[in-house]
Amino acid sequence: MSPLTITARDAATGPVIEIVGDLDYDTAPRLREVVDGLTVAAGHLLVLDLAGLNFCDSSGINALLSARSLTIQQGGHIALAAVPANTARILRVVGLDRVFTIHLDAATATATTSATR
């Protein structure tokens, strides 16, 4: 089990949250707290950078969906970046690859052209 580290930073397109470690039943509430504390301006993009994600269970998937809902309520957009293969597979199986915009990495996600969808 890898401890969860969540780091938030700002990009020109909006906030970027880097998630490192295991996103599971025990740690998913921490992601929700971080997202609840953010304001995503209308038209801006929240990027969840999953490059360091080791494991994600159904609680983690629910936390990602909660982040999406809150971002949309605020008038923003959300994207996932650098989704690990095991998590990408889960997203595909449950159809969430059609719900989330997915980028190869955070740099691609925060390119100014990607935020103006």
pLDDT in tens, 9-49: 999 999 999 999 999 999 999 999 999 999 999 999 999 99
pLDDT band at 112 (very low <50, low <70, confident <90, very high): low
Q: Give me the CATH code for the 5-109 domain, please.
A: 3.30.750.24
In contact, 52 and 84? CB cutoff 8 Å: no
pLDDT at 115 over 80: no
pLDDT at 116 over 50: no
In contact, 102 and 88? CB cutoff 8 Å: yes
Taking the whole predicted model, whether its pTM rises above 0.75 is answered as yes
10 Å Cβ neighbour count for 57? 16
Q: CA–CA separation, 13 vs 31, rounded Å? A: 20
pLDDT band at 113 (very low <50, low <70, confident <90, very high): low
DSSP letter (8 states) at residue 2:
P
